[in-house]
Structure 1
Amino acid sequence: MSDRLIVAKDAWGDELPDWIRVLVQECDQSSQKKVAAKLDLSATVVSQTIRNAYPGSIAMVEQVVRDVFMNAPVHCPALKTEISSAACLAHRRRAETWSHSNPFRVRMQRACRACPKFNKET
């Protein structure tokens, strides 16, 4: 059992949420800094989340971990197909800023902003 897993179990209890277990495993396989970069979060946020001490939105961190590492398929109404949750997250993040660089990006921006999964915190 890794030190991070011990810390997480101390903070969250023996029944760890599945996304915390995945977050710990990803950190153990590479590094906390690399995992934070993949999540587009700071290493401090990752550390505080593992320790159940993050004062911000834990739900936002959970959603990002699920989107990036747990990668469940998501039905995209704009594309009329299933895409990975990581691709969905990438589209949502690009939709936060306006761009008229190409018709596809404009279409996805409009569709993502209307989607219930769109949240400016993620």
Structure 2
Amino acid sequence: MLKRILMLDDNQDILDVVKEALLYERFEVTITSEPENIIETIKAYKPDLVMLDYKLNGTRGDDICRQIKAHHQINNIPVIICSAYLNKDDLLACGCDAIITKPFGLDELVGTVNGLLLVD
């Protein structure tokens, strides 16, 4: 069974590239640029991992991560925050499991995802 990944970013180009890279690596990927109702989206899709952009229109990825980690139904899902605005201490304080600095290489992306999902 393929591992499921949900990615939220407001940049469609990044969503498209990441989706293609992860599909190639044999993951099931759903992308969205809409932070509204993201908790409900996560509960419905049941991903094995969530990737969040840090700076989104109207909200921030660290705030969404805090919501995920505080929600009893989904708090066990690993969260990666992708950010060009890097303050690792602040981002780790939100409870994320990994941080990827933008711009990032596809090897780093795949390695981080595989590491969190323990994929061989």
> TM-score w.r.t. structure 1 length?
0.28
Bigger relative contact order, structure 1 or 2 (CA pairs below 8 A, ≥6 apart):
2
> TM-score w.r.t. structure 2 length?
0.29
| Structure with bigger gyration radius | 1
Question: Larger helix proportion, structure 1 or 2?
Answer: 1
